[in-house]
Structure 1
Amino acid sequence: MADDDFRTVTIIQADGLYPDEELEKTLFAPRPGQKYKLNYVQSNLWPTGVPERRPWSDIPEELRNQVDGIEVLKMPFTEQDLSLFPRLKVIVRMGVGYDRLDRVALAKRDVTVCNVPDYGTEEIADHAIALTLSLRRGILIHHERQRATPPAGWMIINTPLMARLRGATFGIFGLGRIGTAAALRAKALGFNVLFYDPYLPNGVDKSLGVERTKDVKELFRRANVLSLHCPCTRETRDLIGYDLLSLLPPGAVLVNTSRGEVLDLDGVEECLKNGLLAGAGLDVLPEEPIPEDRVHPLIEAYRRKEQWLEGRLVITCHTAFYSPESFVDIRLKSAETMRDVLIDGGRSNVITPDME
């Protein structure tokens, strides 16, 4: 067979995340018995450190018409975007969540959707615990007051944020890979761990040595710290608002390192204002990046350093997943998934249309 007869497999990494393409070109290269030519391109639509993304239409039409597979980290992908890629067969979301992909449109076109569920597990669990400790040990409020003018006195601060960890209840909403990792860390700190996850089989609580509730309201009523670890699905979107948050014990701490769309910021603001919540640590927000033409009042108050929020709210930029090591994991696992599904005909990490 002449070289001209070889089919070409074209894969793009949409965001443009890495300084070279050697890992991908090595992983996607033909193996013995496979006959194709590889065309791998980083499209640089939203590189690291760039605050605003470029549209999919910025990719040259000639390249778009050839694309078989897309790897994407931050970019959303709509039905309109799909119309730009007539040959697309597989899209790999380089992370756990896939709610930014229009799965209905993709399913209609028979495009296979995959995710990468097993990267950054340690980092996100560590981040959830770090947010908990920075609030529950009063680190943030001391930090703010010691850099004030004049600095606060060298003494304890009497605040509902401060509490002993041992014996308190660490509530987990969603006990998947990351939730489980967070549970083990919370246990090591002396917390009693209580979780709610209606999709897990019986006995998970026994194997981990934690407590399970099948009543979501009980989770909220008992959790001195509530850590969210659920995906954004049709069921969980906007699920957690004032009605549930107001059930938390007075002085509770809320942490969200999952998806911003599951948590209603109006409810968080109200609970912080009335003292039901002592503090909140948010790595994710309903809209990211924050749209400057409609900044939520809670975020505005946080930015203005309003005194009622002093030391009580911390926001990080959807970076709980990140470490240099996890960034390598994302790259490797995404490429392995793409190769298995697009090139080798496997089913690694496939998200079927009926899955939440």
Structure 2
Amino acid sequence: MKFVDEFRDQALAMGLAAAIAREAVPARRYSIMEFCGGHTHAIFRYGVHDLMPENVGFVHGPGCPVCVLPIGRIDNALELAEEHGVILCSYGDMLRVPASKRRSLLKAKAEGADVRMVYSVDDALRIARGNPSREVVFFAIGFETTTPPTAVALRTAKAEGLKNFSVFCNHVLTPAALNHLLTAAGLDVDAFIGPSHVSSVIGSRPYEYFTETFHRPVVIAGFEPLDVMQAALMAIRQLNEGRAEVENQYIRVVTRDGNRKARTIVDEVFERREGFEWRGLGAVPDSALRIRDSYAAFDAEKRFSIVTRSAPDAKSCECAEILRGAKKPVDCKLFGKGCTPDSPVGSCMVSSEGACAAYWTYGRFRQEAA
């Protein structure tokens, strides 16, 4: 398959591994954060981690939208489903994330709440059209990648006069999180592998601020194993040469200006929140979106007077530290013991983009945790 098979070629992978080994200066260490959870899973699924020299290490970042959503917002979703009796539509991963007292939307569904898994916001629109006497709320999450479809759905609902449809908006912004990591969180890494799908929307331009201000290279990479390896090589070369630039390995998809049409639609429907709580990062200024007043009739927070209260993570769960890049999943004493995909304690073990799920799914750390 074009743009897949050739990026999983074993001979090319070994050639890239050899090039990285040649160019990684033995006397120094290279710490590279892959911001996106999709990259973390690629690293472990294809064994990229094992092809790196000992002095080149990956640090897992907060680029998992399910993982970074704070417990208080999931409590709000439970409140919508259980107390307001809405049809709550959500992506599958969100159903299993533990909220306060380890309750989840899946448990609420088992107890009678009308919670439905959807594959897209269009599914939620169809449910609203088919149930005109019921309130239907779409639990919107995600970075810049999933924001445009939500914006289109809100435009559609407004055009159709779909009065029983609303959105509980939890869309968050990548550059704000990156800025917070480098300032308030005090992250100490040498370079970043930038997210691919997010960058296809926002482009490579927003990362130029970070290379200029913090002198950290950013290399945008695709999700295939050779994408990640080539990006690591590009970052190492920059560091060796004393450069800090935005480089785009994912040129088959990402441009400097991204998808202008998608950004225009998002700007029409959403505006920035002054602050938003992230699991692991705390309150991050200008890091999330809310629905503009012109679409207030479709804003679930206003329609149902939602008030979010902070709630602590489960005791002994290290998900917050993992999302900050301060710890790895195996540093958590619950990993593989009290916390597994069948019985997750933290969101990092639930999501298909979570770091703990990556460590567990591909098996290499199971024996160590047993």
Q: TM-score, normalised by structure 2?
A: 0.33
Rg larger in structure = 1
- Relative to its length, the structure with more helix (as a share) is 2
Q: TM-score, normalised by structure 1?
A: 0.34
